[in-house]
Amino acid sequence: MLKKVYDKKNIEDACVYIKDAVFNKMFSQSLEYMTPARGTFNIAHTGMLIPESHEIFVCASNCLRGVILTAGELHRMNRFSTIEVKQNMLYDGSMEYEIIDGVKDIINKLDYKPRAILLYFSCLHHFMGIDIDMIMQNIKNENEGIDFIDCYMNPTLRKSGITPDENMRMRLYRLLKEQELMDNVVAFVGNDLKMDEDCELVKILEKNNMEIKEIHRCKNYDMYKSLSKAKYYIVTYNSAKKAGKDMEERLNGKSIYMSNSFDYDEIEKELGEMCEILNIKNFDKEYYENMRKKCDEKLKSLKELIGDRKISVDYTFTNRILSFCKLLLNRGFNVDRIYADSFIEDDKEDFYYIKNKYGNVKIYKTSSPYMQYIDDLEEKENYLAIGQKAAFFTKTNNFVNVIEGGGFFGFSGILKIIELMEDAYKNEKEMLSLISIKGLGCEECIL
């Protein structure tokens, strides 16, 4: 049973002490609230990562609204079109033909010829059971010279089976065709943000003369297509695991998952395992000892600087949120609030570690309908927030504005985050305006 933190308001589904929580059974489902924090990518952002591609979304106007303005805010309306579903299309049998003709019409009216088109279907089509294979085949036959891939905006399925986010990261690489694999080529797969070039992962690969491919590094569609030459697919984002496995099955390379941990041993272990699989030389022990020492020293200085200032962290900052919290808690930081509706399996061990050792840490359900009021019940304190939602909920301008790990990885990633925390502690940001930007960092990643 969950302990009510706010008895006076009878709000039992917004907050729980971790000592009273069961892993991923913290909260029941209810109506959902949405914070104004918008930094994470949506499926329209992700699709834009393919250079020289064009997105066509087919849906009702209320669903199109969000993605069309995503493109607008990215200043990429020229890479985005829509076919709006009208009510008659639901029952008069015209849906398939509206889509086929619509795509053809859009291609004819574009002032450029895209190399690839991502055609997004939606919940409506899933419920109607339309013949997507027939549509895709027809479109491919009629438009030679353009690659097509069906993508899905199916939020109705987000709690059953493969999530739209996982699916999108998978579809992003479905345009790649099987070709001869090259032993010395590695592809980073499924990250929204470009992998930080200073991280150990990149450094090891470079040191061993491995060629690194990544969708963010592709200047054109041909470069994107060459991703399938990679023999190894390195996945560092949990939602991209299925994408890596899918590539393994279709393109015959090897998928390697590294969970983007903040635990020194785990980082070293994962890097070591990668080196073994790739049969390349790892950094020596001295390097890692040095990096561990550096991280400890930096964390110590940071702790001296910020003292017992309360810290809040949210899940949009990194998918290994509990690993990160554990790192801080074990070094005396006052991590007080974690904002997450659920955690990934990789964090399960860390969950029970924190539960047993730091049981008074509170977990908040970010989508709870009570979240916009819960802060009124709390004592007003000045938090240092890591992540946009944590910043919004704790109403602080001292925050680290990073999403999805910021492309950081390993020890170097920890060092960079420490620097960002130090900066956030010393300097305020305009929180509300910064967190309202959709797809933080996306515009710099796309053509």
447 binds other proteins (CB under 8 A): no
Residue 95 CB, nearest approach to other proteins (Å):
11
Which residue in the set 1, 10, 144, 285 belongs to the binding site for other proteins (CB under 8 A)?
Answer: 10
When the beta carbons of 44 and 327 are compared against other proteins, the nearer one is: 44
What is the distance between the alpha carbons of residues 326 and 238, in angstroms, rounded to a whole number? 19
Which residue in the set 1, 7, 141, 160 belongs to the binding site for other proteins (CB under 8 A)?
Answer: 160
DSSP string covering 71-104, please? HHHTT-GGGEEEEEPPTHHHHSS-HHHHHHHHHH
Q: Which stretch binds other proteins (CB under 8 A): 65-73, 131-139, 211-219, 345-353?
A: 65-73
What is the distance between the alpha carbons of residues 356 and 322, in angstroms, rounded to a whole number? 13
Read off the DSSP letter of residue 404. Answer: G
Q: Which stretch binds other proteins (CB under 8 A): 58-66, 242-250, 303-311, 342-350?
A: 58-66
Do residues 364 and 371 lie in contact, with contact meaning Cβ atoms separated by under 8 Å? yes
9 binds other proteins (CB under 8 A): yes
Q: Which stretch binds other proteins (CB under 8 A): 73-81, 227-235, 238-246, 247-255?
A: 73-81
Which residue in the set 3, 22, 36, 197 belongs to the binding site for other proteins (CB under 8 A)?
Answer: 36
When the beta carbons of 8 and 285 are compared against other proteins, the nearer one is: 8
279 binds other proteins (CB under 8 A): no
Do residues 71 and 55 lie in contact, with contact meaning Cβ atoms separated by under 8 Å? yes
102 binds other proteins (CB under 8 A): yes
When the beta carbons of 107 and 335 are compared against other proteins, the nearer one is: 107
Write the Ramachandran bin of 408: left for phi over 0, alpha for psi from -120 to 50, otherwise beta.
beta
What is the distance between the alpha carbons of residues 60 and 429, in angstroms, rounded to a whole number? 37
- In the structure encoding, which two tokens stand for residue 425, read together? 């502690």
When the beta carbons of 25 and 285 are compared against other proteins, the nearer one is: 25
Beta strands in 277-357 (DSSP E): 310-314, 334-339
Burial 276-306 (b: 16+ CB within 10 A, else e): eebebebbeeeebeebbeebeebbeebbeeb
Which residue in the set 373, 377, 422, 447 belongs to the binding site for other proteins (CB under 8 A)?
Answer: 373
When the beta carbons of 267 and 431 are compared against other proteins, the nearer one is: 431
Do residues 60 and 124 lie in contact, with contact meaning Cβ atoms separated by under 8 Å? yes
> Which positions from 109 through 148 interact with other proteins, judged by CB under 8 A?
109-110, 123-124, 126-128
2 binds other proteins (CB under 8 A): no
DSSP string covering 194-232, please? PPPTTSHHHHHHHHTTPEEEEGGG-SSHHHHHGGGGEEE
Q: Which residues bind other proteins (CB under 8 A)?
A: 9-11, 29-36, 38, 59-66, 68-69, 72-73, 77-78, 80-87, 90, 98, 102, 105-106, 109-110, 123-124, 126-128, 153, 155-160, 367, 369-370, 372-373, 392, 432, 436, 438
